Structure 1
Amino acid sequence: MANFAKSNVPQFAIDVYQNEYLPQAAREVNAIVTVTSTGGGTTGGRPLPAGGEDGSGPRAAVVIMVDCSGSMDYPPTKMRNARQATEAAIDTVRDGVSFAVVAGTHKAIEIYPGDGRLAIASHETRAGAREALRRLTPSGGTAIGTWLRLAQRLLAASPASIRHGILLTDGRNEHEKPEELKAALDDCAGTFTCDARGVGTDWEVKEVTGIASALLGTADIVAEPEGLAADFTAMMEKAMGKEVGDVSLRLWTPQGAEIQFVKQVAPAVEDLTARRTESPPRSGDYPTGSWGDESRDYHVCVRVPSAEVGHEMLAARVALIIREVSDPAGPPATTLGQGLIRAVWTDDLAASTRINPQVAHYTGQAELADAIQDGLQLRKDGDEAGATAKLGRAVQLAHSSGNDETAKLLAKVVDVEDAAAGTVRLKARVTEADEMTLETRSTKTVRVKK
C-alpha cells in the first residue's frame, strides 16, 4: 500500500487477481486489478477541511449546469423540481468549496455568482445562489456543448484539485451539431469530471451516457421530476467525498508485450483503452478521475511473446499515479500503489485451463452490458428474434452473476420464463421510462461474491 502523506487523502492499495499459468505458446494474459482507497474523505457528506494542505484555499470546485430550455416548462413542475434539486445540491456543498450555477439553453449563462468567477460556499453565498435560482424561467433551445465549455472556463480559474460538474437535461441536444458536442467533450476531458442526469423521457440516452463517459462521471435517469432533489443531494454528497483528483493507472510492459485493452468493470463498465497517453519508456497512462473512500475494479488484457514451458515473465507492472494539478504534463507527483501481472508457461493442463473467478465474473458483466444494449437496439429496429436472443442472454448472465438490480430492470422489458436458461419473451408493451432506465443503467455491475 502506498503511503501518501497528506492527512486527508486516502491510502491506496492495489490487488491483482489472475491465473498466471498459460499453456505452451499462449500469448494472452488477463487480470483484474482492484484499487481500493481508504481513510481519506467520505461519500456521506461529512464536513472536511475547506482549504488545501495549509488551509489557504479550496480543494474542490463544482459547477451545476441546469437545463432551462423551453421544454422544462412542460409540465411546469419540471422546472420547479429542477430549482429545488439545485438548491438541495448547493446546501450540500461544504463550506469553503468553490461553486457556480449555469443556466443552459442554446447558450450558457452563469447565473451565480456571475462575472466569470466562482463563489466560495458559505451561508451567505448559498442564500445568494438560492435567490438567483428563483429567477430562472424556461426558454430557448439546447446546446450542451456550450454549457460544458462555460463550466470548463469557470473550473479552470480555480486552484482546486477536485473539479466536478453536475449536468441536468430534459431534452435532446438539438441546437448544435453532434460534432460540436464531441469537440466540447474532447476539450473538457481530463480537466473536470461530470455526472449527467436526464429527467423525464424526452432526452437521448446515448447523449447523456456519452457525456458522463467522456468526463469519467456517472449517468442516470430521473424519470419523475419529484426524484431530482434526492438524486442531486446524493450526487453532491459523493462529490464532496472526493479527495484526490487526476489519478491514472500507469501500465508498463516489457519488450514484445503490449496492452490489448483496459476496462473499468466495477462499479460500472467503462472502456479506457483508447484514452491511453504515452509515458515513456514503455508505459502508458489511463485516466480514472477523482477518488474518495471507494473501490474499483479494472480488467487488463496483455498480449505477450509466446514462450516455452517453464518460462516466466513479468507481463505488466501496474501503478496508480497522481500528477501535480499545477503541471499536468509534468512527472507524477506520487506513486500511490503498485501491482504485478505475471505469466508462467506450464504443461499442467489443470493449472493452465483454470479461469480466475474475478476474470470470469467481469467478462460476464461486460457481456451483459453489451447484450442489453444490442438487444434494445434490435428491438427498436423491429428485429424481434434478435432482440429476444440478446435480452434472453442478458437475463441469463444477470441471473448467474447475481446482478439482481439489472435482472429487475430486464423483467420490465421481457417476460422471463427460465432465467437460468435465458428463455424470455418480449413484452408487448413497455413504457419508455422502463426501456430508457434499462439502457442507461446497463453498464452497472456487481462485485464478485466473496
Structure 2
Amino acid sequence: MDTLAQLRAGQLSGITRLDLACGLTEFPREIFDLADTLEVLNLSGNALTRLPDDLHRLRRLRVLFCSDNRFTELPACLGQCAALTMVGFKANRIATVPGAALPPLLRWLILTDNHISELPTELGERPHLQKLMLAGNRLQRLPDSLRQCHRLELIRIAANRLTELPEWLLTLPSLAWLAYAGNPLETEADAAALESVESIPWSALRLEQQLGEGASGVIHRATRERSGQPATQVAVKLYKGEMTSDGSPLHEMNACITAGLHPNLIRIEGRIVGHPQARAGLVMELIDPVYRNLAGLPSLESCSRDVYASDTRFSAGVALRIASGIASAAEHLHRQGITHGDLYGHNILWDEQGGSLLGDFGAASFHATADTVESRALQRIEVRAFGILLGELLVRIESGLSDEGRGRLGDLQRRCCEPQVLARPGFDEIVRELKSW
C-alpha cells in the first residue's frame, strides 16, 4: 500500500499502479503528477464522495477501484476517460448511474452492493462490455439495450428485485457465467433438502489452522467430536454474512446443501448450529492435500479468463478424466435444478490422476427442474462455460492424444460454445460423449 506522504514527496514518480487507503475525503491533486504513467488507481477503503471533473487528465488510466467509499452517484467524469476499461465501485451508496459516466471502452463494471434501482440505456451501447457485477442492488429490470452486448460473458444480478429474466438475456451468444439467486424470480430451494442435512453443534467442533479464505467465508481444518465415536478431521466453512460480487453467502450455503451427493462434489456433513455470534456455517469433508487448484483467478488483463501456471500440462487421460468428472457434476446439479454459475478452472480441485472436485457455490442459482425453454437455456449457458474449460484443457494436453482425438474434442468444444444457445448439447450428451473415449 502506498502512502499520501510518499505521493506528496514525489517518491512515486513513474509508477503504473497507485493504492491509497488512508481515510481520504478529497481526491489528492498530486495524483495528476503521475498522468504520464498511471494505469491502475485503487482508492478503495476511503471516505470519498466525488472525483475531479478533470480526471481524464490521467490519460493512461485503464483501471479504477473506488469500492468502500461514500459515493451516491457514479461520477460522470469517468465517461471522459478514454483509456478506462475497468470500473469498480462496490459497497458505496450509489443510487444513480448516469449514462455519461460510462467510459467508451468499458469492459468490466463492478457496482455490487449499492442502492441502484435503474441502469441507463447507454450501458448496452458499450460494445466491449464483458463482465457486469450488479449483485446486491434494487434492480427490477435490466435495460433492453444490453441485448446488443454480444461480448458479455459474465453477469451477476443476484439479490436484486427482478421478477423475471428477460428473454434476450438467455440468448446472448457469449454469456457463460450467470448468477441470479435471491431475486423474486428464482425457484425456491427444496426445504426438505435443507432440513435433511445434519445439524452439528458448534460445541462439537474444534477449529485448527485456516485452510483458505474467499469472498463469502473462511475455511478451517477442524476436529469434530461425537459421543461414543472417534473424533474425525473435517473442514469448517464459516460464512461472513456479507454481500459478495456473486451474491449472498446464505444462498451459497443453501445451494451446497441442496446439491446432494456426487463423487465430483465436496461432501457436506452438516450445517453448524449454536455459533456464539450466530454465524452460519457448514461442516464438509476434509479434502486430501494432494488436490490443488486447476487454475488461478482471472487477472485485470484476462478479465473473464482464468490464469494457468505456465507449466500446466496434462496427458490426454488426465485431461479427459477431469473434463468427464466436471461434466458429470454439472449434469447432477442441473437435475437438482441448480446452475453453478461459476464453472471455472479456479473453482476446480484436481490431482495427478485426473480426480476432480467442483467447489465454490457462491454464484449458484435455482431453476425449475421441468424441461422448459428457460431452464434449458440456463443450462446451456453453463455448457458454454464448460466449453471454455474444455478448450483450456485441450491446449494443455501434451501426450496421448491422436490428431483424430484432438479433432473430436475440438468439435465438442466448438459445439459447447455455439453462439445459438439452444443449439448447444446438454450435459447428459456431453457426459455420454466423453465416456465413449
Choose between structure 1 and 2: higher strand proportion: 1
- TM-score, normalised to structure 1, is 0.27
- TM-score, normalised to structure 2, is 0.27
Higher relative contact order (CA 8 A, sep 6+): 1
